[in-house]
Amino acid sequence: MTETRRYSVTGMSCGHCEGAVRAEVEQLPGVSGLQVSAETGSLEIAVTDGAGLTDDAVLAAVDEAGYDAVRQS
Edge-first strand listing for the sheet containing 68-71: 31-37, 42-48, 2-10, 68-71
CB-based contacts of 71: which residues, under 8 Å, 6+ apart? 5, 6, 7, 55, 58, 59
* CA 59/CA 57 separation, integer angstroms: 5
Q: What per-residue confidence (pLDDT) applies to 50?
A: 86
- How far from 66 is each of 3, 4, 29, 46, CA to CA, in Å? 25, 23, 20, 22
Q: What is the pLDDT of residues 8-22, one digit of tens each?
A: 999 999 999 999 999
Does residue 64 sit in helix, strand or coil?
helix
Q: What is the pLDDT of residues 28-73, one digit of tens each?
A: 999 999 999 999 999 999 999 888 999 999 999 999 999 999 999 7
